[in-house]
Amino acid sequence: MRVDVITIFPEMFHGVLGVSMMKRAQEHGAVEINVVNLRDFAHDRHQSVDDRPYGGGAGMVMRPEPIFEAVESLADNESYVILLSPQGRTFSQAIAEELICHRHVVLICGHYEGVDERVRSTVADDEISIGDYILTSGNLPAMVMIDAMVRLMPGVLGCAQSTLEESFADGLLEYPQYTRPEEYRGLQVPEVLRSGNHGKIRQWRENQAWDRTQARRPDLYERLKKDDRRADTGGGDAAKP
């Protein structure tokens, strides 16, 4: 897989992409990540990529020409182009799994007051937000998405089982985890985890995942319970909350 990031602040990515799992994934050939400076596609000697909005208003808007040309220099018919935008669909584990099916993903990092609408309507295949809050640019969202995608790629994590048992892998929050020592400051590891009974451990973890999801993310809990009821009745509208 190849990921191209279009940004006016390429230096922000150096630390994130050059350490730990992200660095290993690139060294081992699991992913190729390129950070492209949008200013290289500007048309004036000041490398301007923004201008005042038509109709007036506060702030500056990113011009279409540099973005169009940057995408055209990188993309082909198989590329999937994403505009990082607070108006996009909210990023999730399911979307991360969806995106790694693409051979090539291009991430456009917005900045200033916004991006010319012609980019949204013509260049972008998708718009994604990482949450209902405003950041200064799309750079941090791009880093978040790349991290979430790369760790799902085969061979990136040391243990493939890790991605199957973590939060949101099956829609639930992850069950509590413990390690040595068995007792610390009077706090004990639950007896069931020390029992060696894998059936009981599996059931305890499942119960804990449901309980934790209900307590911390009731929205997820209700949706998952509704899906369970539908599955029990064979789907469709027959199942009622």
38 touches 67 (CB < 8 A): yes
Q: Poorest-confidence range of 10-24, 80-94, 112-126, 224-238? A: 224-238
Rounded Cα gap, residues 233 and 226, in angstroms: 11
215 touches 176 (CB < 8 A): no
pLDDT recorded at residue 4: 98
Coil vs helix vs strand at 114 = strand
Q: How many CB atoms lie within 10 A of CB 231?
A: 10
Nearest to 88 by CA among 49, 51, 50, 134: 134
The residue assigned the tokens 């599996």 is 202
Residues 173, 178, 180: CA angle, nearest 5 degrees? 165
Provide the pLDDT confidence category of residue 241 given band limits of 50, 70 and 90: very low
115 touches 108 (CB < 8 A): yes
What are the structural domains of the chain? 2-150 (3.40.1280.10), 165-232 (1.10.1270.20)
The residue assigned the tokens 């029992």 is 195
Q: Tell me which amino acid residue 159 is.
A: C
Strand order of the β-sheet with 79-90 is 32-37, 2-7, 104-109, 79-90, 126-129
pTM exceeds cut of 0.85: no
Coil vs helix vs strand at 82 = strand
Average of per-residue pLDDT across 154-183: 75
pLDDT recorded at residue 147: 96
165 touches 46 (CB < 8 A): no
Question: Of residues 158 and 174, which shows the higher confidence score?
Answer: 174
Please, what is the angle between helix 218-232 and helix 198-216, to 10°?
A: 120
Average of per-residue pLDDT across 9-38: 95
Q: Which phi and psi (to 5°) does residue 74 adopt?
A: -110, -35
Average of per-residue pLDDT across 202-231: 91
